[in-house]
Amino acid sequence: MHELQRLGERLVALAPQQLARIDLPDALREQIELAHRIRAREGLRRQLQYIGRLMRSANVSADAIRSALARIGATGGAAR
């Protein structure tokens, strides 16, 4: 559960052009783009939790996302 949330944090930290290169369900992509616009710390924390929950319920392959992140060279720095 926490692993998917951390993976979601790495996705949120990506630049839009990097995110576009990863194949994600539309609902997940929309929530990641929404997280980019959230400025409140608590709101962002809750959004990241929601992204992790969405990844679990959508049966998104964590391994596929990890390999896509490795391909584009994302190391998972700080969010935004």
Residues 6+ apart with CB under 8 A from 32: 8, 11, 12, 19, 24, 51
In this predicted structure, what is the pLDDT of residue 74? 56
Residue 30: closest CA among 15, 17, 19, 46 = 19
65 within a domain of the structure (yes/no): yes
79 within a domain of the structure (yes/no): no
Token digits for 42? 């608590």
Residue 8 sits in a domain of what CATH number?
A: 1.10.60.30
- Number of folded domains that form the chain: 1
Task: For the chain, 80 residues long, give each residue's pLDDT as a single digit of tens.
Answer: 788 889 999 999 999 999 999 999 999 999 999 999 999 999 999 999 999 999 988 878 888 889 999 998 855 544 44
9 within a domain of the structure (yes/no): yes
78 within a domain of the structure (yes/no): no
The residue range of the domain holding 38 is 2-72
Token digits for 37? 């616009």
In this predicted structure, what is the pLDDT of residue 17? 93
80 within a domain of the structure (yes/no): no
53 within a domain of the structure (yes/no): yes
Overall size of the chain counted in residues: 80
